[in-house]
């Protein structure tokens, strides 16, 4: 991809020969279309397409969340693409046609706020998940007014449950109420912190795979 400042073709849109012109994130861009692809089904290409399709499905399931939780990474690309780019490199494994997500490595949020070293998830009462973390002890480096956001993925039902700004970071604990029907289901637990104005967030922390009581 090239960024075009003053092309000899003037103001050009769409295709011109094998070149495709467009405007992306405020810049005029030009892409070249391949004239011919000899073998689009090499093992490497199949593997990449399989990983890409899997991560696209995941991103669409949490689209409104990652528009915010990856906003700090959206430099020259969308938050959606930033989410895809990071996780396809770090959280997808497997062979062509059999790609899988390593949910322990999936990053739901990425940002500049200081993250917790650990946020532990557990289920000690019916249809709930409790998260526990160490509250900040240095107010100059971490704001106690930062807010916890939670993401819970039900493995059995393939459903995502998202809660925004549900507890102060200074509290050190939060118990989330889940749907009654989720009892005995397995869930992946994620958490991250957001600034009071909602403009910054930390990286997400994986809290484990737990069985809901």
- The CATH number given to whatever domain includes residue 146 is 2.60.40.10
Give the pLDDT mean for 128-155. Answer: 88
Is 88 found in the same domain as 136?
A: no
Is 23 found in the same domain as 80?
A: yes
User: Is it the case that residue 84 has pLDDT exceeding 70?
Assistant: yes
Is 50 found in the same domain as 89?
A: yes
In this structure, is residue 130 part of a structural domain? yes
Is 128 found in the same domain as 101?
A: no
In this structure, is residue 2 part of a structural domain? no
Q: Among 2-6, 46-50, 105-109, name the one with the lowest average pLDDT.
A: 2-6
Question: Does residue 58 sit in helix, strand or coil?
Answer: helix
Is 133 found in the same domain as 203?
A: yes
Domain C-terminal end among 49, 81, 107: 107
Which single residue is written with the structure tokens 């019916």? 126
Domain C-terminal end among 61, 79, 107: 107
In this structure, is residue 151 part of a structural domain? yes
Is 82 found in the same domain as 133?
A: no
In this structure, is residue 181 part of a structural domain? yes
**Gyration radius from the chain CA atoms:** 21
Give the pLDDT mean for 167-192. Answer: 97
In this structure, is residue 5 part of a structural domain? no
In this structure, is residue 82 part of a structural domain? yes
User: Is it the case that residue 27 has pLDDT exceeding 90?
Assistant: no
Average pLDDT, the chain: 86
Domain C-terminal end among 82, 107, 132: 107
Distance between CA atoms of residues 110 and 184, nearest Å: 30
Please state, as a whole number, how many other Cβ atoms lie within 10 Å of the Cβ of residue 28: 17
pLDDT at 186: 98
Is 150 found in the same domain as 98?
A: no
Is 149 found in the same domain as 63?
A: no
**Structural domain of 167:** 119-211
Distance between CA atoms of residues 158 and 58, nearest Å: 10
Is 142 found in the same domain as 73?
A: no
User: Is it the case that residue 13 has pLDDT exceeding 90?
Assistant: no
Name the domain count of the chain: 2
Is 74 found in the same domain as 141?
A: no
In this structure, is residue 113 part of a structural domain? no
Handedness of CA 195, 201, 203, 208 (dihedral sign): positive
Confidence label for 90 from pLDDT (cuts 50, 70 and 90): very high
Is 143 found in the same domain as 65?
A: no
Distance between CA atoms of residues 30 and 1, nearest Å: 6
Confidence label for 12 from pLDDT (cuts 50, 70 and 90): low
User: Is it the case that residue 6 has pLDDT exceeding 60?
Assistant: no
Give the pLDDT mean for 195-207. Answer: 95
The two structure tokens encoding residue 211: 């069985």
Residue 159 bridge partners (DSSP)? 154
In this structure, is residue 174 part of a structural domain? yes
Is 137 found in the same domain as 182?
A: yes
């Amino acid at each position: 991809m090239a960024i075009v400042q003053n092309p000899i073709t003037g103001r050009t849109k769409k295709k011109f020969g094998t070149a495709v012109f467009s405007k992306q994130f405020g810049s005029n861009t030009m892409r070249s279309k391949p004239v011919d692809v000899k073998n689009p089904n090499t093992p490497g290409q199949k593997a990449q397409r399989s990983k890409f399709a899997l991560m696209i499905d995941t991103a669409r399931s949490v689209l409104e969340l990652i528009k915010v939780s990856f906003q700090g990474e959206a430099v020259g690309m969308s938050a959606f693409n930033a989410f895809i780019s990071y996780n396809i490199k770090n959280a997808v494994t497997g062979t062509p046609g059999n790609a899988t997500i390593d949910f322990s490595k999936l990053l739901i949020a990425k940002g500049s706020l200081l993250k917790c070293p650990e946020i532990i998830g557990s289920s000690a009462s019916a249809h709930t998940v409790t998260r526990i973390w160490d509250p900040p002890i240095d107010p100059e480096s971490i704001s106690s007014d930062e807010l916890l956001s939670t993401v819970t993925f039900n493995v059995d039902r393939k459903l995502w449950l998202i809660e925004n700004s549900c507890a102060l970071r200074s509290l050190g604990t939060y118990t989330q109420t889940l749907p009654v029907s989720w009892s005995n289901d397995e869930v992946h637990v994620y958490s991250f912190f957001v600034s009071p104005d909602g403009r910054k967030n930390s990286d997400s922390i994986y809290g484990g795979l737990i069985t809901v009581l």
